[in-house]
Amino acid sequence: MTEREKPHTFVVYVENKPGVLNRIASLFRRRGYNIESLTVGHTERPNISRMTIVSSIGEGAAHRVEANIYKLVNVLSVEDVTHGTTISRSLALIKVEAPEESRHRLMEIVRVFRARVVDLAPRSLIIEITGAEDKIHALVDVLRPFGILEMVRTGQVVMRRGVQERAESSPPKGAQDDPRPSQQKTGPELTGAGALVEAEHPGSV
Amino acid sequence: MNERSSDKPGPRKLTGAEIIWECLERLGVEHVFGYPGGAILPTYDALTRSRVHHVLVRHEQGATHMADGYARASGRVGVALATSGPGATNMVTGIATAMMDSSPIVCITGQVGSSVLGSDAFQETDITGITIPITKHNYLVTRADEVAASLREAFQIAASDRPGPVLVDITKDAQLGTCEFDWDAAAPRAHRQVPDFFPAPAKLNEAAALINESQRPVILAGHGIILSGAGEEVRRLAEAADVPVALTLLGLGAFPASHPLNLGMMGMHGEAWVNQAIQESDLLIALGMRFDDRVTGKVNTYALKAKKIHVEIDRAEINKTVHVDVPLIGDLREVLQRLLPLVKPNRHSEWWSQVHISQQDSSVRDIQNLPDNGHLYAAHVINDLWRETKGDAVIVTDVGQHQMWEAQYYHHEKPRSLITSGGLGTMGFALPAAIGAKFARPDSEVWVVAGDGGFQMTMAELATIVQEKLNVKIAIINNGYLGMVRQWQEFFYEGRYAGTPLLSPDFVKLAEAYGIPGLMVTERSQVVPALHTSRFHAGAALIDFRVEQEDSVYPMVPAGADLHAMIRRPTPLVERPTDD
């Protein structure tokens, strides 16, 4: 494969059951793809979890992974949102060396980045920042000379802007008489890129 | 438990083990292929109160291949049963085989008690973890009241869409525990509801336009035709638009071999004219096939002049290896029923004459048309088997040279008349799969065609044949080598035969040790009489065909080479000098 690799972001709705994460991770592992970040959490619907998976892979590889995630029985929907207009956030906690002499400058940086200091110790402080990946990268770069003692990042959570047409499409044939909510399954488009829904609010924050 | 009555309405208290059999009966299961052990003992105990027939195998791999053979011969779900730990891990090869060839089987395994899961208990293994990549889905069932729903859903998943294996791992306490058995409450939800299950009319029109405008079309007919039961629709499409039909290995039988539009098998050991037609084609109509690497050769040079229509139920197969112009997702039969009215009658006489020229060139090389030089060739054995059985038998092959000769020289007219491990290429498949096929179709003549290598991998199942009094015929194509590997060593490794010369037992004596009559054949003149004797013997019979040792399968597209770059059979057939 000579195709160029770039971070692809998949949003996956799954049944909240043991082993589902393993099944999905297995589809990346068997192809030798690395998962850069992965977040899982509850959704507004009971027993349904939402995953955001980021993996740096080629376009064809992304299509293959998406199509195979879709085939998993416990998966309700999967979408490669890489090419859509999305809001992406992650959170980081960064513990920085903070002796008296550099503390003031650190506070200034925190203010500029709209981060927060959430813990203050005699020789260190913990900074919390929420934002898009590049904003966090930028803060980390600025903090590095001060001495980063420890850092933890949540991985990205991603949401499409505007109205999700596909998620609200009418139930498929036969699903009407089934009361359980997990019947509706939306999958990848054949082009692999995922149908782009018209954004209500173009531009970014 | 003896008071249990199936006539009594309403929920009844049953053990998980009893629920397993109750569900299997209601799901229409007649035979289960299995091997008992500690963690599955409660289920075996409950078997004594069930109508289901249990076939004791000699190795759990055999159980999975039998379930697979049963499924492929009948189209119904095959069922295999094993205990935890080694019982379960022995199933892995058979499960992977079924996965690669889209065969609907359900494997039920016992598991240690739920309280000791993950403690490395005796005969504990994480079989659900192990089988995630090789099953459509699997279940770890830890409570009796989950058994019925899991099994019902497992059967549905195995048989629906693109079929495949499902494993249900049931802990010992789930088998021993009791609960109210409620069949209706355990109804499976439809797991796959695809909104755009049928291709949009625009897509169908696009496909039809390509077909109507094509000058040099070829249909690529795959296993999906058999799975979907679309043989009739494919025939109508081919006849209406006058399209040559090339078949994949697993597609053999999907389109009658004797049909004038049938080209034959494509791919690595496909006939030269078939691959040439594909490379020259301006439109490939791929029906229920997946552009496997053994079919395409080098993808970058595959059918470059052709537009491609791909009708396929599994959307993950679309654009997987070969880019297609018009994908049509859905059940093949239903898609073709919608497509057929849009296809105009057509004739392609120029295209056909081009195909016929290369057919004639191949014909002079065909081993069947060469003079008898006193040697026994596997191709002759297979061709005689075809003639003797009038092409009417169910042939179950193993993997290797004999498999390819079977595909070339046994001409399959009907779906499900060839059962073979295509995707995984599992040696040892034939004998157990044939046992499953015989259970599925007791009135059909079932032949195992296996090499001396693969046969020895699972020959313990001879005992199963005898114990079950099965009438399965066995033809061993015995060349004293792991022949296909030897062929590769001859072609690509300068004849260094590492690990391929093969010592075998006296198969005739071996068969007799099991009480199966055996014959050995060393000359061409003995082939038909031996087949005749075996066929009219009332029970199982084995023939050891001692064929030419260093024969090769022609033509051959080397792995990764251009599809048109075939190694052709030397013509006329020249005697290879003896080894120096």
Q: H or E element: which one contains A120?
A: strand A116-120
Q: Which residues of B touch A175 (CB under 8 A)?
A: 190, 193
SS (H, E, C) B444-487: CCEEEEEEHHHHHHHHHHHHHHHHCCCCEEEEEEECCECHHHHH
- What confidence score (pLDDT) does residue A198 get? 33
| pLDDT at residue A181 tops 50 | no
Same domain for A57 and A110, yes or no, is no
Whether A202 maps to a domain, the answer reads no
Short-list B407, B95, B439, CA closest to B250: B407
Same domain for A148 and A174, yes or no, is no
- What confidence score (pLDDT) does residue B298 get? 94
Same domain for A39 and A77, yes or no, is yes
**Measured CA distances, A189 to A57, A63, A180, B321 (Å):** 18, 9, 25, 17
Short-list B259, B266, B260, B261, CA closest to B289: B266
**What band does B9 get if pLDDT is binned at 50, 70 and 90?**
low
Tell me what the mean pLDDT of segment B296-306 comes to. 95
| pLDDT at residue B372 tops 80 | no
Domains and CATH numbers, chain B: 12-186 (3.40.50.970), 201-359 (3.40.50.1220), 370-546 (3.40.50.970)
Whether A12 maps to a domain, the answer reads yes
Cβ of B289: how many Cβ atoms within 10 Å? Answer: 26
Whether A124 maps to a domain, the answer reads yes
- Residue A123 belongs to domain with CATH number: 3.30.70.1150
Task: Measure CA B195 to chain center.
Answer: 30
Q: Which residues of A touch B157 (CB under 8 A)?
A: 73
DSSP state for residue B491 in the 8-state scheme = H
Whether A91 maps to a domain, the answer reads yes
- Alpha-carbon gap: A59 to the closest alpha carbon of chain B (Å): 12
B358-394 per-residue burial string, b: 16 or more CB within 10 A, e: under 16 = bbeebeebbbeeeeeeeebbbbbbbbbbbebbebebb
Same domain for A170 and A119, yes or no, is no
- Alpha-carbon gap: A161 to the closest alpha carbon of chain B (Å): 23
Q: How many CA atoms lie within 13 A of B470 on its CB side?
A: 32
Same domain for A40 and A91, yes or no, is no
Give the chain B residue whose CA is nearest to the CA of A70.
Answer: B316
Same domain for A79 and A178, yes or no, is yes
| pLDDT at residue B7 tops 90 | no
Whether A192 maps to a domain, the answer reads no
- Which residue, A131, A153, A175, sits at the end of a domain? A153
Give the chain B residue whose CA is nearest to the CA of A60.
Answer: B320
Same domain for A139 and A112, yes or no, is yes
Verify whether residue B438 is a known catalytic residue.
no
Provide the mean pLDDT of chain B: 94
| pLDDT at residue A118 tops 80 | yes
| pLDDT at residue B57 tops 60 | yes
CA–CA–CA angle B288, B294, B299 (5° rounding): 90
Q: Which residues of B touch A18 (CB under 8 A)?
A: 140
Query: Are the CB atoms for B549 and B477 separated by under 8 Å?
Result: no
Same domain for A71 and A36, yes or no, is yes
Q: What percent of chain A has pLDDT above 70?
A: 78
Q: What percent of chain B has pLDDT above 90?
A: 89
Tell me what the mean pLDDT of segment B70-82 comes to. 98
Expressed as residue numbers, the domain containing A138 is 87-153
Q: Which residue type, as a one-letter code, is found at position B499?
A: G
d(CA B439, CA B442): 6
| pLDDT at residue B208 tops 80 | yes
Q: Which residues of B touch A26 (CB under 8 A)?
A: 132-133
Q: How many CB pairs under 8 A join A and B?
A: 66
Tell me what the mean pLDDT of segment B455-483 comes to. 98
| pLDDT at residue B374 tops 90 | no
What are the residues whose beta carbons fall under 8 Å from the beta carbon of B53, sequence distance 6 or more?
A: B30, B31, B32
**Measured CA distances, B362 to A7, B6, B370, B402 (Å):** 51, 63, 12, 20
Tell me what the mean pLDDT of segment B262-270 comes to. 96
| pLDDT at residue B11 tops 90 | no
A21-44 residue pLDDT tens? 999 999 999 999 999 999 999 999
Ramachandran category for residue A182: left, alpha or beta (phi over 0 → left; psi -120 to 50 → alpha): alpha
- What confidence score (pLDDT) does residue B370 get? 76
| pLDDT at residue B504 tops 90 | yes
Task: Measure CA B365 to chain center.
Answer: 29
Same domain for A44 and A105, yes or no, is no
d(CA B511, CA B513): 5
CB contact B62 to A (< 8 Å): no
Same domain for A20 and A51, yes or no, is yes
Query: Are the CB atoms for B52 and B24 separated by under 8 Å?
Result: yes
Predicted interface score ipTM higher than 0.85: yes
**What band does A97 get if pLDDT is binned at 50, 70 and 90?**
very high
Query: Are the CB atoms for B220 and B287 separated by under 8 Å?
Result: yes
Short-list A50, A29, A187, CA closest to B316: A187
**What band does B10 get if pLDDT is binned at 50, 70 and 90?**
low
**What band does A179 get if pLDDT is binned at 50, 70 and 90?**
very low
Whether A199 maps to a domain, the answer reads no
Verify whether residue B484 is a known catalytic residue.
yes
Verify whether residue B123 is a known catalytic residue.
yes
Number of domains in chain A: 2
Verify whether residue B307 is a known catalytic residue.
no
| pLDDT at residue B187 tops 60 | yes
- Alpha-carbon gap: A169 to the closest alpha carbon of chain B (Å): 9
What are the residues whose beta carbons fall under 8 Å from the beta carbon of B226, sequence distance 6 or more?
A: B250, B251, B253, B254, B288, B415, B416
Tell me what the mean pLDDT of segment A153-158 comes to. 95
Whether A194 maps to a domain, the answer reads no
B322-353 residue pLDDT tens? 999 999 999 999 999 999 999 999 999 999 99
B134-169 residue pLDDT tens? 999 999 999 999 999 999 999 999 999 999 999 999
- Which residue, A137, A153, A169, sits at the end of a domain? A153
- Residue A40 belongs to domain with CATH number: 3.30.70.260
Short-list B149, B570, B524, B512, CA closest to B364: B570
Same domain for A12 and A68, yes or no, is yes
Higher pLDDT, B454 or A182: B454
Give the chain B residue whose CA is nearest to the CA of A167.
Answer: B195
Tell me what the mean pLDDT of segment B48-68 comes to. 98
Same domain for A129 and A64, yes or no, is no
- What confidence score (pLDDT) does residue A130 get? 97
A125-151 residue pLDDT tens? 999 999 999 999 999 999 999 999 999
The reply to whether residue B132 touches residue A180, judged by beta carbons under 8 angstroms, is: no
Q: What is the pTM of this model?
A: 0.91
* H helices, E strands: number in chain A: 4, 9
